[in-house]
Structure 1
Amino acid sequence: MAGPTSAAKKKKGTASTVKKAPKRPKSVREPKKPKSAKSTEANSTAAEDASDEDDESDNGPYCLCRGPDDHRWMICCERCEDWFHGECVHIAKDVGESLIEKFICPNCTTDNLMTLYKKTCTLGSCRKAARLNHSPPSVFCSDEHAQTWWERMLARLPKAKARAALSDELSQEEFMALLSSDLATIDGDGSWTLRAPFSGQKSEMNGDEIGIEERLAQILTEEEKDYLAKKAHARFKLAEETLLCQKMITLVELVQDRRRAAINAGLFAEDICGYDQRLDTICARDAFAAFVKSPEGEAIFQASKVGDPLGEGDEVRGMCERKRCKIHSGWHKMLVQAVKYQIKELADQAAEVGEDERILREAAEERWRRRQAEQNWVEVLDG
């Protein structure tokens, strides 16, 4: 005979006038305690009622399959507030947690009501959301991915010698020249900012200012011209070294992309190191420059992809397969930070060279103005 507690319990499938959100089942259920031979009948009834309520919460029904919460990843519908297994609605966990703004289940989806997705990061291999609501907004999920995107775009530009004749496409050297000009700045973290020429206020240059370079060419001594030529050559070398450092960061990110691809394919666990021996030349400028010019290096930067070092298509060959490797611990972050520090040092050196040039030019200009003033003097002679 059922007691009053059993009679008051809601039967499964019974309709309700006010629909309540289903309880999210507990992730871990405690095992039932064995009944004691000396327990009273009242205690046994209370334990059974509590067990029934727990079973009802754990066993659902949920999702399209109307099954239980079997500890698979689930997502809640914003309209009916029911829970759905990600596999049943064809949504991966990383997409559901990072890229879905508002989930609407298939039962509630209409022409005017559907799942809303966030814009993904512009970097192709990234599955995170872009920072469109930040100030300033960005189509990337982080500054590091913005930097990586620019580096890959630069790597796709042809070199001056390899560019076809009469082509409007910028070469790598021309682009680096833009970065070295007063139109571009390199921040301390290595990110680039390029200002559009002739933007902002209208130029206030007059005829005298237009002829500054011509006047400097006339009044500069041979020693000063040689000094400026050496400074210009030094700035070009610093720009080349900066480009080399950018390629270092690109190689580190490509190796990290290969590691992530192996993890997503189930070939690696999350705690596998993934360090590639081709990263040994990072921060060693001469050795890395030689690697970049080698056939393997040229193939990597042309394809923007790191593969099997033997060229046989093996997806993990060449990577460290140790778990929680102590030798290469934190290699990705450590190498990127080291290269960015080098970029900052190069930027500081380029700023010093530019300042030396500016001081010499201003001194030459001041000297020219003094000569112009001396020529305007008039000596009055008594008749």
Structure 2
Amino acid sequence: MEQTTPTIRQSEDSRSEPFENDTKSETVAESTPQPPSDAHPAPSNSPSHPPSTSAELYNMAAHTASKKKGTASAVKKTSKRSKKTGGPRAAKRAKPARSGSTGDAHESAGSELEESDHGPYCLCRGADDHRWMICCENCEDWFHGECINMNKEIGENLIEKFICPLCTNESLTTLYKKTCALGGCRKAARIAQEEKSVFCSNEHAQTWWERMVAKLPKAKGKGGVNDQLTQEEFMALLQGGLSGTDEEGLWRLVKAPFAGKESNGTNGTEKENPDQMHLSAEEKEYLENAAAARFHLAEETVLCHKMLALLEFAHKRRQAAITAGRFKEDICGYDQRLDSISARDAFEAFAKSPEGEAIFKASQLSDPLGEGDEVRGMCERKRCKIHSGWYKMLSLGLKHQIREMATQADEVGEEEKAMRQAAKDRWRRKQSEKNWVEVLDG
């Protein structure tokens, strides 16, 4: 009997050791956030230890680790372009598919926590240090938002296609989405959906209208002399059918008279009518003359620019002669080939001559005889009164003439536009009245 007692105590102690180890390991796993692989209970060598207890603790630890790992993804909504934001480590975690078994989830969670990506990335050539990053669509390199001066909110919501500063050129650049029209909102507008809107949601559209209406006065002033709409008048306009969209899709308080779909007046089919159906014979003749006048002004403008170019060539030749020591600062330096600048026809003939074509092709004035003399053909008098201030005077006159012709061309263009619009309105009125005559072949 005395020999059997220690044996029983030893077996009881050996049975209690696994439970104590399990309790300690569970306490450590709950107190410190360790990976699921470190939270496994110590294996028991005793055959009397129940196998179900160890399996239950393993499942609980794996479930707790997977729950902690998935908390961020459950709370934060993934953006449409989640693969290109967040960082290279987040992009690598998004590639493998999630497994349904607990053991696969435990192994993937352990591999993600043990993974270390030191780069180099970004302009700073640093590592993925858990700061927000975005991927370039061209070079597929990752960049920290702080290094490229980009906010995380803008990068996740308003970037359609990101091109890094190293890849940006005339043909490649970052594309942004249209921002919500509500002030302060940094979300994309719904312009790519079936029901297009400049707001990101119906709530923001309602808020925008409420703010706009709230800016209007609630009632007229004391004197009653105020042309600003009140809130009641504005709402009445919206509900009365007087407002609507124009041809360009913009909202207007009052529709254009006779606005609507046009027809050709014969079979009622809707189509855009050419100007030949809108304009009368007198209007066509006027528009032809106006177009000819604008063309003539354009030709004169081209000649004036050539005159300015020839004037610059003469000024550069004088400066080159002064630099070479052939002239002093008080020498006139007027080139005799500038005499045709003030006369339009004479200059046009000079520009079309072989000498003029050679000058404008070479973009410089040289010796008229072609012998390489730097000062031949230039006025060599000191303080010349005849050509005093020739460069400044001629350049100012030509620039003023160019501005005057541009103003005249704009006026003629506005007159043409007004006549075409009046003819179009007249056509719309006739179409709305439906007072045309149809000829039926018998």
Normalising by the smaller structure, the TM-score range is: 0.3 to 0.5
Bigger Rg, structure 1 or 2: 2
TM-score normalised to the size of structure 1? 0.43
TM-score normalised to the size of structure 2? 0.37
- Higher relative helix content: 2
Q: Which has the higher contact order (CA 8 A, sep 6+)?
A: 1
